[in-house]
Amino acid sequence: MPSKHACNAKRFHGLARLASVRGHVVFVDESGDLGLSSRSTRSITICAVATGSCRRLDGIPGRVRRRLHVKKQKEKSELKFSNSSSRIRERALDSLATMEDVRVIALTVHKTGFVKDIEADPDGFYMSLCGTLVGHLPLASAAPGRVNLVFDARRGPRSRGLEFDGQMAARTRDGYREMGLMEPEVAVSRFDSLNSGGLQMADFAAGAIHRWHESGDDRYRKMIGSRIVLDRLYDDE
């Protein structure tokens, strides 16, 4: 098992690499699941949080922990919307909302209209959703020069991972070209969310938006409403 020092060093160098590049960093995460059982969520939300201030965004979870004196328990070593108290959720989302250069894009799918697609290829369905999401990135930044996409590290065959990365880069460039904008350079990275405050904040944004579509509770979504530039629902009805 890697030492704490090694994990911190890996996180620091990864963040330093992202913070040093030009353009926007876009953190992508989801809330909900692709399960089809009675215990599964009714919908899934894919969310992108774009910013030119990577370090500030990445530091929000740590600041929330310090201000609210949240202990780092082994079984709960990262902040997640789903298992956080309302106090933590409010502090994290309020911090996100105060970042003027943050833009949030989200797509939510009610799964009942896409059962056959999910059953046939859940990974392919997820890839399609993410591709549609990144195609809307020009709404978050019209001329970034470079777009740095960051996804949570997902298990699976390396060949499928390379296909996913290639599709995300292509769909991002297509989105800019289709809007008559200059195609940016696109880089795709994968981080463990444990070591990425940016991915943790994408999880909070996704959780806030998903909660509204899943149960009608919009109190958390309202907190980041000023940062949302797209919140699209795909429904079978």
What's the sign of the alpha-carbon dihedral 215, 29, 97, 101? negative
pLDDT for 141-162, tens place per residue?
A: 877 789 999 999 876 666 688 8
Cα distance between residue 90 and residue 16, in whole Å: 28
Binned at pLDDT 50, 70 and 90, residue 187 comes out as very high
Looking at residue 205, its amino acid is A
3-state secondary structure 26-86: EEEEEEECCCCCCCCCCEEEEEEEEECCHHHHHCHHHHHHHHHCCCCECCECCCCCCCCCH
Q: Which residue has the higher pLDDT, 85 or 69?
A: 85
Under CATH, which number does the domain 4-234 receive? 3.30.420.10
Cα distance between residue 169 and residue 135, in whole Å: 9
pLDDT value at 13 more than 60: no
Cα distance between residue 135 and residue 46, in whole Å: 13
Which helix or strand (DSSP H or E) is residue 119 part of?
helix 115-120
Q: What is the pLDDT of residue 76?
A: 53
pLDDT value at 22 more than 60: no
To the nearest 10°, report the CA torsion of 216, 222, 228, 230. Answer: 20
Residue percentage of the chain with pLDDT more than 70? 84
Q: Domain boundaries in the chain?
A: 4-234
pLDDT value at 24 more than 50: yes
pLDDT value at 73 more than 60: no
Q: How many residues does the chain have?
A: 237
Q: What is the pLDDT of residue 78?
A: 85
pLDDT value at 177 more than 80: yes
Q: Is 149 helix (H, G, I), strand (E, B) or coil?
A: strand
pLDDT value at 77 more than 90: no
Least confidently predicted of 19-33, 40-54, 68-82: 68-82
Q: What is the pLDDT of residue 68?
A: 86
Across the chain, what does the average pLDDT equal? 87
Q: What is the pLDDT of residue 7?
A: 43
